[in-house]
Amino acid sequence: MTVDGIDISKWNGNWDAAKARAAGAVFVFIKASQATFTDPLFKVNWQRARDAGLLRGAYHYLDYTKPGRDQADYYASLLDADPGELPPVVDYEQRRADNNVAAARATLREFIEQFKARGYTPMIYTAPNFWSTYGTTDSYWAQFRLWIAHYTTATAPSVPPPWKAWTFWQYTSKGDGPTYGTESYNVDLNRYVGTLEELYQLAGLPLPGGDLESRVVALEQKCLRLEQRVTLLEQRVAALEQGSPGTPPPPPPPPPTDLYATCTASSLNVRSGPGTSYPAVGYLVYGQRVHVLERQDGWARIETPAGWCSEKYLKYE
């Protein structure tokens, strides 16, 4: 069982996060920094991902132009106000021009130790071939989650020691960019190893609409609606049976004024008002049926959970 996501940077151009969500992405990793400068599109991408309800993780591209300590401090400063939902990442893939492997490892180690001192535990992004040269089998590295980049048609990536398992897998760089809302022709596609519920646990969040009590309430409401429909049909049949020959059947009752819709997104924010500027007060999940009380400028006010959600991801009955 895996969950789909993408990763982006300035190289993907202007990004429509809502399209990524509609295409099935549940999470996104966004480039935050490199050396001691910020990716030009990080702030806008970070906000767009949040507005679209995507789980967010930031990554730092480690190079050798600045000491690892300085890079860690800079990266941490970008996350202090809003660290996102997923673990922060250090992208370790650049080879040194002088091929000084020991110096590269030392930079990574210095970065990680300083980043931990700032209160963050990073996930390591790397590739099997790169790690075989620029990494080691020292068990020290196994304490960090692994985001592995391995483009293969196999059902699972190669995992370099000392790791025994991967958490995220970047399995291709040839995803269809426009489908996921990017200006670039291609976009990186990723998978999380686990269920949607486990991914939300990693993010430290409850699964939207996934708790047992909510499911029981939804089933009870569905049963009640079915009972009401059955009662209505029985009344119609009884009325037809009582009618005399030649007597026209009684007119059908007026259609119900209640409006219902089904969520078509994997996770849809419910906000306190009709717009993305309002804070999220709850979530809907794919297939969840809601009672719509009001419609306004592309937003629907729903009964449970009480609030507003975008009509883009609702299918009305």
CB 270 within 8 A of CB 280: yes
Write the DSSP string, 6-22: EEE-GGG-SB-HHHHHH
> pLDDT tens digit string along 61-84?
999 999 999 999 999 999 999 999
What does the pLDDT read at residue 216?
47
pTM of the model: 0.68
Average pLDDT score over residue span 28-49: 98
Token pair belonging to 40:
């030009």
3-state secondary structure of 165: coil
Q: What is the pLDDT of residue 258?
A: 80
d(CA 33, CA 45): 13
pLDDT score for 222: 47
More confident residue, 250 or 281: 281
pLDDT of residue 288: 85
The model's pLDDT over 131-150, given as tens digits with 9 standing for 90+, comes to: 999 999 999 999 999 999 99
pLDDT at 214 over 60: no
Across the range 85-104, mean pLDDT stands at 98
The fraction of the chain above a pLDDT of 70, given in percent, is 87
Give 106-109's long-range contacts (Cβ < 8 A, gap of 24+): 106/68, 107/62, 107/64, 107/67, 107/68, 108/62, 108/68, 109/68
Note whether 28 and 8 are within 8 A (CB).
Answer: yes
Q: From the CB of residue 229, how many other CB atoms can be counted at a distance below 10 Å?
A: 11
Q: Domains in the chain, ordered, with CATH?
A: 2-202 (3.20.20.80), 212-242+249-316 (2.30.30.40)
* Token pair recorded at residue 262: 């089904």
Residue 97 has pLDDT above 80, yes or no: yes
